[in-house]
Structure 1
Amino acid sequence: MDTARGLPLEIARLDKHYADRSGTRRGPRQVLRGIDLEVEAGAFVTLIGPSGCGKSTILRLVAGLDADFSGAIRVGGVPIRGPDLSRGMLFQEHRLFPWLTVRQNVALGAFHSGLGAAALDAHVGGLLERVGLAHAADLFPSQLSGGMAQRASIARTLAGNPRLLLLDEPFSALDAFNRLALQLELERLWLRTGITMILVSHDIEEAVYLSDRIVVLEADPGRIRTVVENRLPRPRDRVSPVFNALKARLFEALHVETGAPPAGLADPAHTPEEAIR
């Protein structure tokens, strides 16, 4: 993996408030408090936590889609000043333009690349090959399955050659088979490109399978509860005792918020220290 391609991220003392629109005159509602997080270039980090803890808000702030916050967010050592092609974002919905073909949608992601027609066509063709959609290049979004549409969305995001990829539950609407297939594809892309990736997920198994580090947040207001290092070797075995032990540790970290015990999973006290810190 070429980590030189990825960009590091630094978040320091990040606070975020939303205005109260309920008419109760309680004042602004704080949704994030004191977020401190450093992500190394080329790392894969997942944010997990209960609904309302600010996971997606963090992504929006890093993407530059919302500039109303206090604290500091620096990407590659530079404070963010709005959206930038070096930061790509993938949403829960594919957001493809229905009147454009798959090829045209992906090409739109490279609109500001400055590539000539031939180079752009080769670039788009290569991306479609990478995500397994070369055969569907001339189809419209209405002709795609959910998994195919999300793969097209991944290709469009990669078309701008981002060095930091922000993923807001991109597989949540997919069936189990397509979710697993796209997790594998995302891991391959990460290993091949060295792009820094930050994933928001409610799926603990997904977090353990994909991540180097898992950031557990709690709500009201959103803040970091703990950070779990994941040193399990790749490729990861989803049914191994150490994999399930790490899942158990994350369930335990979320226990206060979810109220659900880590039933039936391995005791985290017996987790090998070399795999989980």
Structure 2
Amino acid sequence: MRRERLEERSEISSELEEHQETLSKINENRTEYRQAQRRLDSIEDEIERRRDRIDDLTDDREALTEEIDELEAEIDDLETPDQSDVLDQHKEVNQLEFELERKERERDEIDDEIASIEERLEERSTLEERREDVTDELTDLRTRIDQIEKTAVESFNEHMENLLEILEYENLDRIWIDRTTREVREGRRKVTKSSFDLKIVRSTDSGAAYEDTITHLSESEREVIGLVFALAGYLVHDVYETLPFMLLDSLEAIDAERIATLLEYFESHVPYLVVALLEEDAQAVDGNHAQITEI
């Protein structure tokens, strides 16, 4: 069962690394999507303004066309000998025709710009589909992360319970991690994150249980908690696959008998265990282990 769990943890760790890379890409895509969304909103506003401008220019063109028609009709009716008046009318007609051509060129330029903007708007549907895919991927990753965190907490609690039982610390009943969730603010939005609280329960001489804090633990008890944290992380994250040994040092705060019991427990979970001990502490350890007494 242990081998199966280790293999399962190895697979989960590999998948987690892949999903973390995917999550990084997703975050980049999400940033790019938000920027594109802002650009789309700006483009849509610009399209509305340009369309209103086209309507205005079209009205101007129609008005100018009518005015040109009236002027041309008036020129046709002018058959008087006063040629200067006819020339003035022609000049006015030419000026109006020039203005009309300028307005038409401006309208054509606006039409071309609108066509270009509408082509860019076609990207919107693609971005929306990508957003749905990113949302699904984020959900999967959060599920995987939640499972890894749950496994890590369970591993710590299991090893902590086993060691407290065999180390027999006086009036120390239970130590475990309580995993909860809480909302925190990131920028302008709220997100849900995991919270890990270390719980400690002691008992009085009369047998009454009460909750305690880590600051009231002895140095030996705190050292054991730290070692269990290390062991749980070592196993859950499959560190043994790339680093198949563990080095323990500075265990002097723990008494010799408990050191021997602790090492025996660690030895059953770590491929190779290396421990630096004082001579008096080493005497309590089973002598069947290889020892280095001088360097």
Which protein is bigger by CA-based radius of gyration? 2
Structure 1 length as normaliser, TM-score? Answer: 0.32
Structure holding more helix per residue: 2
Structure holding more strand per residue: 1
Structure 2 length as normaliser, TM-score? Answer: 0.30
